[in-house]
Structure 1
Amino acid sequence: MSREGAEYALRARADERDRISGDLLDLESHTTYQLLKGAALDGVTGRRWAAVQAALGRLWLLNDAYRAVLRDAEQVRATRAKLGAEQLAQLTELLSGTSVVLRAAAKPVEQRSLLPDADERLTLDETVARMDGAFREATSALNDIDAVWNAVLPRLDDAERDLREIRDLERELGESVDLAAQESELRRMRAALLTDPLGAGVGPDLGGVARVLAEVRAEVDQAIVVKREYAARRENLLAALDRVRGAESEARLAHGAVVVKIALPPQASPRSRVEELTGGLDALDVSADTWVVRARRLASLENEAEKAADRARATAKALYGLVGRRDELRGRLGACQAMAVRKGMAEDPAASACFERARALLWSAPCDLTEAAAAVDTYQRAIHGGKP
């Protein structure tokens, strides 16, 4: 090396040493590193962390040897204001030669031989490369463990919070829900995440437990609301049943008015659900079920009452619609007759027979709409020469 090259290399190595020291201090103070240092790890994580610890042990040995060489180089540089040939040769050897000495490690007796183990000599660049490999091994493990903890621990915390809140709500409700299995599973998952995050694999199981807790939480919330508002909701349900009675009465009136005009199948007769729903409410009033179950039953009754009223109104509308359909077919038949006159087919025997059949069906009571519609179609084809 030239004098200028040696001076530059020494300054660069000093900067490199400071940067490496800073990185190692950052690693030592990393939160996850501190947690893992004192943790009782096992499984996949335990094996990987043991390998990391071994790598870090090698890193610190390399770092000590690396720093010792730089101290020697700085002492050589400090001996004279201007480097002489001897000092320059020493610096060149320290900074670019195989100046880092790794002493052979002591081995257990069962691993020794009678021949001495040779020390290993490395350049500064080779030493830094090995330290970097060990450092990357450690940070890779930290990143992988952090990724698991960051992804799963917040979800686990949320599930445990849901469980605590359910327990608080149970005290308010005065009833309990059997969540012993979920509680035990959450404890197992947390222990697994702390001792073996890389091998725990609790994500899918946690999702199932979280869903159960969310459903139970919603049910307990609803049960508390029902307990507080039961009297008011009961009155609302009674009003809803009155609306069902009214809608079903309208459907029966519609059926009575339509059945004399339109041929209806037996199943078209409206069926009432009022008695069934009223019986359900009476049973709920004296039920010994928990409020969670009663809330579910009350919500079902409310929903069924609403659907029964809607169904009865739809039935009445559909029944009256059948009369409208008959009137529409009558109008269509009249329009076809007018067209037959314009086309000079009013006296055609075949067309006239079709017309009379359709007319007889549409003006009979009760009217068979299916046959009447087919008869109108037949008449329409007859006056169009067999075309639709």
Structure 2
Amino acid sequence: MSREGAEYALRARADERDRISGDLLDLEAHTTYQLLKGASLRGPTQTRWAAAQSAIAALWALYDTYRGVLRAAEQVKGARGRLGAEQLATLTELLSGRSVVLKAAAKPVEERSLLPQADERLTLDETVARMDTAFQQATDVLTEIDTVWSAALPRLDAADAELRAVGDLRRQLGESLDLTQTETDLRRMRTAVLEDPLGSAPPEHELERVTRLLASTRADLERALQVSQEYGRRREELVAALDRVRAAESEARVAHGRVVVKIALPPQAQPRSKVDALADELDALDAAPGTWLDRAGRLTALEQGAQQAAQQARATATALMGLLGRRDELRGRLGACQAMAVRKGLAEDPGATELYERARLLLWSAPCDLTKAAQAVDLYQRAIHGGGR
């Protein structure tokens, strides 16, 4: 190695040493590394982390020896402006030869031999490569653990916060909601994540199940709390809603009475009242000693039932009155077809006349069978247009 080459190599190795030192310090400062140092681990995580710790210990031993060789090289270089031949040879040997000496490790007596154990010698490049392998082994484990923790722990923290919120709401409402199993599940999952993230982390579906359960329970309790605060007002609004149902059902009955004498209706067309059953449910809700959680669900169901009953009654009245409109529309079609028959010279045609009279009789009879009347008008219309019977 030339003098210039040796000096350049020494500077490059010094930069390399500083970079490796920074990487090692970053490794030890890593949050997951610090947490693992004092953690109680088990299972595959314990096995993997023990192997990683051995790799880190070997890495530091290699680094100390590597740094000692560079220190010796820097001492050879010293402050000399120009290296002598002897110093250059020594520096070359340190920088490019097998200058890193690893002492033979002490073995248990059952693994020993009476023959001398040879020390291992490495070049600086081989030492750096071996350090890198150990570094990658350690960081791979850290990355895997950190990935699991980063994914699971925030969600477990959120679930714990949700559990506390549910507990506060439960106490505020005086509910006897049993959260023991959920608390147990969360503790078990957290312990598994912390102690064995690589082997016992909870599956996604289990964490999702607990999260959904807590969110649903909290929503129910918040709804119950709101009902407890608004019950008086909402009850008055429900009473008014029942009055609207009565009015809509009365309108449907009136429409049925008007239509049934003019239009033939099946028995199921008779409007059925729901307001009495809803009113009875409201009375039962007032008298019930149940919890607010139960009362909230029943009150909401009553409000929805009242709204649907009013809508159904109004729709029934509209549909019934629409039957009169349908009859009048058929009467109009029949008149238009008769006028067309006159223009076509078919007014005296016996066949057409018979079809007309049949349709007219059906449409002007009470109660009118709309189905048969519509069929009769269609037959007459086809006859006028040349379709025959």
- After TM superposition, is the score higher than 0.5? yes
Q: Is the 8 A contact 2:46 2:196 kept in 1?
A: yes
Q: How does 1:274-289 map to 2 (within 5 A)?
A: 274-289=275-290
Give the deviation of 1:384 after TM superposition: 2.0
Counterparts of 2:382 and 2:130, CA distance in 1 = 95
Q: Alignment identity in percent?
A: 70
Q: Is the 8 A contact 2:327 2:370 kept in 1?
A: yes
Give the deviation of 1:79 after TM superposition: 7.0
Deviation digits for residues 67-110 of structure 1 (CA, Å, limit 9, x no counterpart)? 11111111111174311112111111211122212222111122
Structure 2 residue 268 is the aligned partner of structure 1 residue 267: yes
Q: Which runs of 5+ in 2 are unaligned?
A: none
The one-letter amino acid paired with 1:244 is V
1:200 counterpart SS class: coil
Q: More deviation in 198-207 or 266-275?
A: 198-207
Which residue in the other structure is 1:355 paired with? 356
Q: Is the 8 A contact 2:148 2:201 kept in 1?
A: no
1:314 counterpart SS class: helix
Counterparts of 2:114 and 2:348, CA distance in 1 = 131
1:199 counterpart SS class: coil
Q: More deviation in 245-254 or 186-195?
A: 186-195
The one-letter amino acid paired with 2:178 is D
The one-letter amino acid paired with 2:31 is T
Q: How does 1:354-373 map to 2 (within 5 A)?
A: 354-373=355-374
Which residue in the other structure is 1:131 paired with? 131
Counterparts of 2:79 and 2:236, CA distance in 1 = 101
Which residue in the other structure is 2:9 paired with? 9
Structure 2 residue 36 is the aligned partner of structure 1 residue 36: yes
The one-letter amino acid paired with 1:296 is G
Which residue in the other structure is 2:50 paired with? 50
Give the deviation of 1:206 after TM superposition: 1.5
Counterparts of 1:35 and 1:145, CA distance in 2 = 11
Which residue in the other structure is 1:102 paired with? 102
Which residue in the other structure is 2:140 paired with? 140
Which residue in the other structure is 1:176 paired with? 176
1:256 counterpart SS class: helix
2:198 counterpart SS class: helix
Counterparts of 1:163 and 1:387, CA distance in 2 = 77
Q: Which runs of 5+ in 1 are unaligned?
A: none
Which residue in the other structure is 2:71 paired with? 71
Counterparts of 1:118 and 1:315, CA distance in 2 = 101
Counterparts of 1:54 and 1:26, CA distance in 2 = 18
Q: TM-score, normalised by structure 1?
A: 0.96
1:289 counterpart SS class: coil
Deviation digits for residues 296-328 of structure 1 (CA, Å, limit 9, x no counterpart)? 111111110110001100100111111111111
Structure 2 residue 194 is the aligned partner of structure 1 residue 217: no
2:199 counterpart SS class: helix
The one-letter amino acid paired with 2:48 is R
Which residue in the other structure is 1:186 paired with? 186
Which residue in the other structure is 1:292 paired with? 293
Give the deviation of 1:115 after TM superposition: 3.1
Counterparts of 1:303 and 1:292, CA distance in 2 = 17
* C-alpha RMSD of matched pairs (Å): 1.6
Give the deviation of 1:118 after TM superposition: 2.6
Q: More deviation in 249-258 or 206-215?
A: 206-215
The one-letter amino acid paired with 2:217 is V
Count of residues in correspondence between the two structures: 388
The one-letter amino acid paired with 1:309 is A
